[in-house]
Structure 1
Amino acid sequence: MSLRVDVCTEDDLAVLLAGETSRHLAHHHRERFAVQAQGSGHYLLAWRDGVNVGRASLTAQSKYAPVRERWPGCAEVNALAAFPQGQGTGTALLRLADSLARADGHQRIGLAVDPDDPGPRRLYERLGYRLWDGGPVVDEWVELLDDGGSRPHADPSDYLSKPLRENTAA
């Protein structure tokens, strides 16, 4: 069972949408691919034996104002998902995100993590991400429900980052 991680292609998007039964996730795939098509980021996918086993979005700047103020142009990983966990998928997606962010000229990369979920945080810290000293950020987003409704979220999160180049200010 070999793992392949890469940037989403139009063919990949078609495969994702053809197999997606959740309206919310189909919207998610289209939205992330559109950001990539606009040149504002990358939609990363992980495949194992032709089955999608993970995804993440890499954006050209943080969605959090305090992070943008401190580190303009900080690349950011959002919506990282690996299923099942513990098989190296998240690690592979984050390594690809680091590589792409470096290639795009970013000095730093960051991400938000639920302070009550230690598993992902251990992964991020193992890969060099460290808690910033700017305090929590609030992850605000709207969940589209499969019944056509929506539900807003405002989740306090810890922000972790790491430099991608030498001599990058903490």
Structure 2
Amino acid sequence: MAHYKLKNEHNAFTLDTSSLVHEAYLKMEKQDQVTKDKNHFLAVAAIVMRRFLVDYARQKQRIKRGGDQIHLTYGAISSPVITTPEEVLNLNEALTRLKSINNRHCRVVEFHFFGGYKHEEIAAMMGVSIDTVRRDWRLAKAWLSNELKN
């Protein structure tokens, strides 16, 4: 429903949390993915949300109405994160390269950035310490910053 609502709205460039979660759930339900536990479910949800946002960015990039922006709102109080489809696609490509170098760093970024999880939640999902997650996050951010400058 959220997808069709956004698709049919002429000026709908905003994805809110509910729309993103609904889309992720529908995709997971279609794939009939059996989750082992809560942590596995949350991990899969973050990956599915990343894929949805990348697909959404590709769709927006194809629209020939220059200046399209993707607004992501994480809750009613937070201000939206405004990004272009190109930035989302560049981040996706950089994450793919990071995954080939260090899969754990890539997962930490996916869970934090796309899933919105806190370091404590990521540590529980991945079965590592909070310090490991924080260290991975710092290293991944530095690496991505360097990659995205180029």
Query: TM-score, with normalisation over the residues of structure 1?
Result: 0.27
- The TM-score with structure 2 as length reference comes to 0.29
Which one has a larger percent strand, Structure 1 or Structure 2? 1
Structure richer in helix, relative to its length: 2
Q: Looking at both structures, which has the greater relative contact order when contacts are Cα pairs under 8 Å and sequence separation is at least 6?
A: 2
